[in-house]
């Protein structure tokens, strides 16, 4: 009887040791898996920060314009537009991102006068087609801006563009 107790005690010790080893193994595995997940999360966060820094550096690369040619490029890049053209009410181009701005410069004042002021009673109009949206608006009584984009251009954005051009012209005068 006395030997039976020791036998059960030995079996209990062996079972306890096996349970301890198996439990320790699985706990260690879970901790390693958690560390790996945390390191992957840290790497993902680091990559996200790099992307944000890159985007900020691109925005910082857009330099203040020195002349009207720089201004239209600046506006195109800042507001993500396809084309920007500044022209006079006489239909003469001032500056443009287009290679041949004469046609749009000649048409813009006529469209603005005939449709905008006479029919719509507005100093800005937006025309939409399949590929492009075009907005024509008065910046000053002497200057008209024509912008083209593949997206809708909200009125608030048109106002910001108008203000950018006015500020540029005030500084230069």
Chain segment 103-130, per-residue pLDDT in tens? 999 999 998 888 877 788 888 888 888 8
Distance separating alpha carbons of residues 150 and 133, to the nearest angstrom? 6
Distance separating alpha carbons of residues 72 and 43, to the nearest angstrom? 40
Q: pTM, whole model, 2 decimals?
A: 0.63
Burial of 6 (0-12, 13-18, 19+ CB in 10 A): exposed
What integer is the mean pLDDT of 90-101? Answer: 94
Q: Is the pLDDT of residue 3 over 80?
A: no
Q: Is the pLDDT of residue 77 over 80?
A: yes
Summarize the chain as % helix, strand, coil (round to 5). Answer: 60, 15, 20
- Computed over every residue of the chain, the mean pLDDT equals 81
User: At 51, is the pLDDT very low, low, confident or very high (cuts 50, 70, 90)?
Assistant: low
Question: Please, are residues 122 and 116 in contact by the beta-carbon 8 Å criterion?
Answer: yes
pLDDT at site 121: 81
Q: Is the pLDDT of residue 138 over 70?
A: yes
What integer is the mean pLDDT of 38-67? Answer: 63
Rg (CA), the chain: 34
Domain 68-172 CATH superfamily = Dynein light chain 2a, cytoplasmic (3.30.450.30)
Q: Where are the domains of the chain?
A: 1-61, 68-172
65-80 burial, b if ≥16 CB within 10 A, otherwise e?
beebeebbbbbbbebe
């Amino acid at each position: 009887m006395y030997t039976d107790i020791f036998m059960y005690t030995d079996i209990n010790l062996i079972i306890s040791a096996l349970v301890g080893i198996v439990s320790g193994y699985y706990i260690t595995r879970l901790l390693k898996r958690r560390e790996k997940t945390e390191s992957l999360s840290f790497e993902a966060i680091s990559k996200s920060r790099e992307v944000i820094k890159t985007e900020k550096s691109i925005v910082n690369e857009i330099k203040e314009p020195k002349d009207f040619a720089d201004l239209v490029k600046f506006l195109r890049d800042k507001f993500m537009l396809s084309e920007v053209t500044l022209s006079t009410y006489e239909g003469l181009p001032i500056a443009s991102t287009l290679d041949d701005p004469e046609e749009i410069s000649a048409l813009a004042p006529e469209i603005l006068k005939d449709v905008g002021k006479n029919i719509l009673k507005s100093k800005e109009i937006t025309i939409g087609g399949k590929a492009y949206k075009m907005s024509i608006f008065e910046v000053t009584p002497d200057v008209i801006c024509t912008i083209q984009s593949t997206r809708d251009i909200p009125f608030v954005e048109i106002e910001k563009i108008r203000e950018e051009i006015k500020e540029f012209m005030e500084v230069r005068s």
